[in-house]
Structure 1
Amino acid sequence: MLKVQEIRELIKLIDQSSIDEFSYESNGTKVSMKKEKGERVQAVQSPANIAPAASEVVSQPSTEPVEVESTPEPQAAKPAEKNAGGHDHEIVSPMVGTFYSSPTPESDVYVQKGDKVSSDTVVCIVEAMKLFNEIEAEVKGEITEVLVEDGELVEYGQPLFRVKTE
């Protein structure tokens, strides 16, 4: 495991260099650093036998000491939290693409909060590589929440709508 002083020295070297990203792994310990616009260096150290923790270091061009701040890794959402919003089904994106809430910019949206849907109701379009794919609700119920905005990029498996099924 690397000592804090060794990590600080690595951060200074990376900060002074033209390298934007750095990774190092030894004896089950992994350190990764990435610059964001040359102002922030983020270091993550995760040994095999210790729970992972993230350290953020804000570096400045002056000779002031570098601060290291540790924060615990976020925990996965609990199943009880999933149904807290009054829904029991999420319509997810089947692909990476651009989300469109209506067939054309001038048209009304397919669905909005409070609308009733059936399993074959088209709820949106996801454009991928110039192909417009209509996404159906796949369940019967009421839209309780729209999770993305028109024109937003969506990922595979990303929730688009929340539905309270009947």
Structure 2
Amino acid sequence: MKLTEIQDLIKFVARAGVTEVEIEQKDFKLTIKSEMPKGRGKKEEQVVQTIQVPAAMPQMVQAAPVAAAPAAALAPASPAAPAALAAPAAPAAEDTSNLIEIKSPMIGTFYRRPSPDKDVFAEVGDVIKPGDTVCVIEAMKLFNEIESEVQGKIVKVLVDDNSPVEYDQPLFLVDPS
């Protein structure tokens, strides 16, 4: 059996979703084993993990009082209160406008350190440059080092250690100045 035939057979087994295929001919025996059902179970776990992500959505609720301010302005006794709430929200938005987000390039589990007994890759206040490793994301038992593409000082870590992250989810805020 040629190498290309074996490669095609491996691809077929992966697509078919079977766990084991065994071929025996005169001069050789070939066994291909796959753990596809376990992988499918992990996909179901990832769906469960994506349900946890909407916990980040309450931050968007903060924008709702600003939208509700015109409705509150209809009552003459309370226009000062919504204006007072809107004023602190505006500087907070301005403070983050110059910050750069380092985002997750994949779905997986976020780790701040290479192993439990090691120091974190990047701490709030650390100055980073392009190519510096800022975290690790585990996806399908592979640990992927995430490198910074920007230079600056880490202002905030947005994700807890050992937490699931989604694709394009912000992980760090960096001040480029």
Q: Could you state the TM-score of these two structures normalised by the residue count of structure 1?
A: 0.49
| Higher Rg | 2
Structure that is richer in helix per residue? 2
Structure that is richer in strand per residue? 1
Q: Could you state the TM-score of these two structures normalised by the residue count of structure 2?
A: 0.47
